[in-house]
Structure 1
Amino acid sequence: MRIFIDFNFEAAHHLPHSFPDGHVNQRLHGHSFRVRVSLQGRPDPKTGLIADLGAVKTTVDSAKDALDHRYLNEIAGLELPTLETIAIWLWRRIAPDLPALAEIGIYRDSCGEGCEYQGEFETLEEAA
């Protein structure tokens, strides 16, 4: 069984090395992002909960504050702020406080794009 909590943030970024010279994404631009944090497990027989969503919200609010209305390229670990890198960054930030963490989804709904990450690796180098 999975439970989840969603949050949104607005941020600016540019992708200097991800596209050919002159590509629009090399210029500063912004997005509305939606994040889904999913936890997986069996409900505790005493509480009926996998996790207290209020406590989960407290954890994710800290991450949201670090991203919302920011220039992502200036955040340590997000110098190359692709969907993939943001997902890894979020996982590393919240996983220590959420032992049932199963997946982080990050979406740009207006573009019809997203990334879903299950914590398979810690860095992009490990993904290669």
Structure 2
Amino acid sequence: MTEITSHTNHGKGRSCVITRRACFSSSHRYWLPELSDDDNASCFGNCALAPGHGHNYELIVSMAGELDSDGMVLNLSEVKHAIRQEVTNHLDFRFLNETWPEFDISTSEGCLPTTEALVRIIWNRLQPHLPIVSLRLYEQKSLWADYSGEDMNAYLTIQKHFAAAHRLAREELSPNENEVIYGKCARPHGHGHNYLVDITVKGAIDSRTGMICDLSALQKLVDDLVIEPFDHTFLNKDIPFFAKCVPTAENIALHIADRLVEPIKEIGATLHKVRLQESPNNAAEIYPNDSSCQNI
């Protein structure tokens, strides 16, 4: 009986972050009345086509607090109710441009319902009801936005893929010495991976377009500077940089970051993170402007 009693308040008062997932299906259109049809098409591409297009959105709500005597930060029933009442009831199976007043582009204060604008407005609606610390909104598996209450700043991530081979070995070392360091990865004919690369940019959300930067321009930069040059190559032999630099996941991620920092700055955003996943078990992350560990 004493042992049972001693665990009754296990964890009470200790800090914890919990997450809750919510999904909704919505459509939207990127079109501004002050632009001509040609200018809208130039700025937003196919996203400007009427009557719009849809997505299956996935929202991840992170909340922080202290455990109570029931072993919970929050009652999940209350969390579900708040998210449903403040977000999904408003957005599910709706045309986002016509849901909330923040997206009313007939007024000068209205902005387009981009992923990054949407996640910020969801924050504003949930924050009075839940102790949220961050939100992530997936528009699709390869595009998502993060927000943590930093005024107009948000994070936007695009995910790309390339297939490449490499060999991990240092020229000045013997085969045996390389094998000691790199194991099977030092074998002379190399091996391949299907790499996933996440490019995360940070910036202020434009009050009218709802964007951190031109998404099409960002995708083109990554395609032109990373995917096209790297895809279906033997990195050691086809990429001059890796003729002398061992193409570990860490070095590849760092080289990708070096390639992208300035071009991304030129389109109005800041490169926040490059994450390179080499396999389901291995990944490397580079933060060009901050060497400390970060969560986003």
Q: Label 1:25 to 1:67 Cα distance change in 2 as closer, same or farther (>3 A).
A: same
CA distance in 1, matches of 2:166, 2:279: 17
Measured against aligned partners, the alpha-carbon deviations of 1:97-121 in whole angstroms (never above 9, x if no partner) come to 11221000000233x1101101159
Correspondence for 1:114: 283
1:44 Cα offset (Å): 1.1
TM-score, length-scaled by structure 1: 0.85
Read off the aligned partner of 2:212 and give its amino acid letter: I
Q: Deviations over 1:54-101 (max 9, x none)?
A: 110100001111110000112122231001110111111111111221
Q: CA RMSD in A?
A: 1.9
Q: Which residue of 1 aligns with 2:192?
A: 30
Residue 70 (str. 1) matches residue 233 (str. 2): yes
Using a 3 Å threshold, how does the CA distance of structure 1 residues 97 and 45 change in structure 2: closer, same or farther?
same
* Regions of 4+ moved over 2 Å: none
Counterpart CA distance in 1 for 2:166 and 2:182 is 16
Farther off after superposition, 40-49 or 11-20: 11-20
Say whether residues 1:94 and 2:260 are aligned partners.
yes
Q: 1:106 to 1:22 in 2, by over 3 A?
A: closer
What is the alpha-carbon distance in structure 1 between the residues aligned to residue 272 and residue 213 of structure 2? 12
SS at match of 1:73: helix
Is the Cα–Cα contact under 8 Å of residues 5 and 53 in structure 1 kept in the other structure?
no
Out of 89-98 and 112-121, give the one that drifted further: 112-121
Of the three residues 87, 105, 108, the one matched with 2:275 is 105
Contact kept, 8 Å, 1:78 with 1:89, in 2: the verdict is no
Which amino acid in structure 1 is aligned with residue 220 of structure 2? T
Q: How many residues align?
A: 120
**TM value normalised by structure 2:** 0.38
The answer for unaligned runs of 5 or more in structure 1 is 122-128
Separation (CA, whole Å) in 2 of partners of 1:78 and 1:13: 9
Aligned CA distance change for structure 1 residues 3 and 76 (closer, same or farther; 3 Å): same
Does 1 or 2 have the higher relative contact order (CA < 8 Å, sep 6+)? 1
Asked if residue 40 in structure 1 is aligned to residue 202 in structure 2, the reply is yes
Please tell me whether the aligned partners of residues 272 and 289 of structure 2 are also in contact (alpha carbons under 8 angstroms).
no
Q: Which has the larger radius of gyration?
A: 2
Q: Is 2:218 aligned against 1:56?
A: yes
Paired-residue identity, % = 28
- Residue ranges of structure 2 left out of the alignment (5+ in a row): 1-153, 171-177, 291-296
Report the residue type matching 1:23 in the other structure: G
Aligned to 2:180: 20
1:46 to partner: Cα distance: 2.3
